[in-house]
């Protein structure tokens, strides 16, 4: 976490990691503390992430905070008023120039905290989290617990579901996996380790 809080300037924090690593929990924790410090906070999430609630960010552990749904990065810039602290969850699903938007907001004096997946289900960088990590003053990478063996996990394993990069799902479709247990998809992106209901 931040040991030194910049004074009189904006900055960018990135919270990244695989699914179940606690990104949303950590984002909520930081935003709640900002509110305790009587700072005005605004929270955004992409329209695609409607897994739990349309107007809240929700962690797998059921912590939640009110948020505003946006369709792209420009909508974030347009919606920010006098708030000093901006939280963005599931940032990898927000279309448009999010890195540019975040840079401009931070340059304008705001603290911007961005949470998102650093890699996709193939283990490849998930833009724009990679460029946001370069933009950030502070990057926190969290680990989950491997669903298979209990080791620290940094990969998101898709269990069935197809080859598209974005398929929104929870426990039924994804697992956190460690380096040893992660089964990368084949060249075409077909997920491995599928759940078979019947022997084929
Ligand atoms: P993320 O936003 O990174 O997907 P969340 O903050 O929503 O993660 O959820 C983190 C919480 O999920 C943990 O505190 C724990 O209660 C729960 N959880 C469920 N499965 C796992 C797992 N395999 N590893 C770690 N936490 C898990
Ligand atoms: Mg999350
Ligand atoms: Zn493992």
Question: Is the pLDDT at 200 greater than 50, yes or no?
Answer: no
**Residues forming beta bridges with residue 142, ordered by sequence position:** 17
Q: What does the alpha-carbon distance between residue 47 and residue 80 come to, in Å, rounded to a whole number?
A: 17
Distances (CA, A) of 95 to 18, 72, 75, 129, 151: 20, 5, 10, 12, 33
Q: Looking at 13, 75, 77, 90, which residue is catalytic? A: 90
CB contact at 8 A, 41 and 6: no
Q: Is 90 a catalytic residue?
A: yes
147 lines ligand 1 (CB under 6 A): yes
* CA 12 from centroid of its chain's CA atoms: 14
Closest atom, ligand 1, to C-alpha of 146 = 23
Query: In this prediction, what percent of the chain has a pLDDT beyond 70?
Result: 86
- Angular region, 109: left φ>0, alpha ψ -120 to 50, beta rest: left
Q: Tell me the average pLDDT across 126-145.
A: 97
Full set of structural domains in the chain with CATH: 11-142 (3.40.50.300)
- Which pLDDT belongs to residue 90? 95
Please report which confidence band the pLDDT of residue 164 belongs to, taking 50, 70 and 90 as the band edges.
Answer: confident
Lowest mean pLDDT among 69-73, 76-80, 166-170: 166-170
Q: Which ligand lies nearest to the CA atom of residue 151 in the structure?
A: 3
């Amino acid at each position: 976490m931040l040991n030194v809080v910049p004074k009189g300037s904006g900055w960018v924090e990135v919270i990244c990691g695989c699914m179940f690593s606690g990104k949303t929990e950590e984002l909520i924790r930081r935003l709640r503390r900002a509110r305790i410090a009587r700072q005005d906070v605004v929270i955004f999430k992409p329209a695609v992430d409607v897994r739990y609630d349309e107007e809240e960010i929700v962690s797998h552990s059921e912590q939640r905070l009110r948020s505003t749904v946006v369709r792209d990065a420009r909508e974030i810039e347009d919606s920010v008023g006098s708030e000093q602290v901006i939280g963005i969850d599931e940032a990898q699903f927000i279309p448009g120039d999010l890195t540019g938007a975040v840079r401009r907001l931070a340059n304008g004096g705001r603290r911007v905290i961005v949470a998102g997946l650093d890699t996709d289900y193939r283990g490849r960088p998930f833009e724009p989290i990679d460029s946001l990590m370069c933009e950030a003053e502070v990057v926190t990478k969290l680990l989950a617990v491997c669903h298979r063996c209990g080791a620290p996990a940094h990969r998101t394993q898709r269990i069935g579901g197809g080859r598209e990069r974005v398929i929104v799902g929870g426990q039924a479709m994804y697992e956190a996996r460690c380096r040893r247990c992660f089964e990368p998809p084949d060249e075409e992106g077909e997920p491995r380790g599928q759940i078979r209901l019947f022997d084929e």
